[in-house]
Amino acid sequence: MAPAVFAILAVLAAAPPAPDPAEIVRQSVNRDQDNWRKAKDYTYVEREQEHHGGKTTSKTYEVSTLYGREFRRLIARDDQLLSPGEAAKEQKRFDKAVASRADESPEKRAKEEADAEKEREKERAFAREIPEAYNFVLLGEEEVEGHQAWVIGATPRPGFKPKDSQAKALPKLRGKFWIEKQDYEWVKLEAEVISPLKWGLFIASLNPGTVLKFTQTKVNDELWMPKQVSVQVDARLLMKKFNGDFQDTFSGYRKFQTDARVVSASEADPAPAADPPKPKNAQR
């Protein structure tokens, strides 16, 4: 055997085995509970945008956790600050929620937090079925926003039988994961509808070709949080064709204390991807 062949065989023998993509996905799914616990210490800004029928609208919220439960405070509409009257109403609603939850009995607070945990477990039941729902293939590695990530393709596994009702959607999607190599977190996810899929609380059917995208960012070097969620919708709603884009953008993550002063909309910078919001009656 030629020396060159011996050299090639020696390199192959010394190379580490390729990681199992299914195991990478399984570990990534198991990591989200720790993220969720840490996320309860943070507040952030969420901007919801809808574009359909030639019209774009948006609402921007400050989202925080008050005594174990989420609270959403509207701070801008269509990238314009709320009027002073509307802002005062939202602040009053926030202050009332803080006072009400602070005065809860330990028993009531424990029940409310247990209910929230129960809802969270329902969501996790869906996610835990992902490793069993697909056949995975390692497509390579990429750098995404400064993080080294495995790129993993996912196609529905024939014969998969979902246990959770929400998991029935999984065989109707194919996707691609970008999973960070150090933390096993999803840096990016892209999914495409490949057969008609019922969506949301409405009588809507997403058509094949509908694309869903999800990205995360590392915050304070301690947890991963959503950065953007977008859906390019091709659907049928109550016998009518519906096309549109929906995009949620998350920003302004910071540690939050219940008794801390709530930031103003201008401080929060609720629309980083667009022009700063203007007072409601300001001229454009």
Q: List, for residues 135-167, the tens digit of each pLDDT value.
A: 999 999 999 989 999 999 999 999 999 998 888
Half-sphere exposure for 267 (CA within 13 Å, toward CB): 8
Asked if the structure places residue 5 within a domain, the reply is no
Asked if residue 73 lies in contact with residue 93, where contact means CB atoms within 8 angstroms, the answer is yes
> Whole-model pTM?
0.79
Asked if residue 7 belongs to a domain, the reply is no
For the chain, how many structural domains are there in total?
Answer: 1
- Residues forming beta bridges with residue 278, ordered by sequence position: 80
Q: Is residue 133 part of a domain?
A: yes
pLDDT more than 90, % of the chain: 51
The SS3 call for residue 55 is strand
Check residue 284 and give its pLDDT: 36
User: For residues 16, 20, 23 and 29, what is the CA-based torsion angle, rounded to 10 degrees?
Assistant: 100
- What is the distance, to the nearest Å, from the Cα of residue 122 to the centroid of all Cα atoms in its chain? 16
Per-residue pLDDT tens digits for 249-273: 999 999 875 544 444 434 444 444 4
In a domain, 79, yes or no: yes
Tokens of 202: 């409405």
- Domain assignment of residue 24, given as a range: 20-257
**Which spans in 47-205 are helix H?**
84-102, 106-128, 130-133
- Residue 267 belongs to some domain of the structure: no
Whether 8 is covered by a domain: the verdict is: no
Closest of 206, 179, 174, 205 to residue 190, by C-alpha? 174
> What is the per-residue pLDDT for 267?
42
4 found inside a domain: no
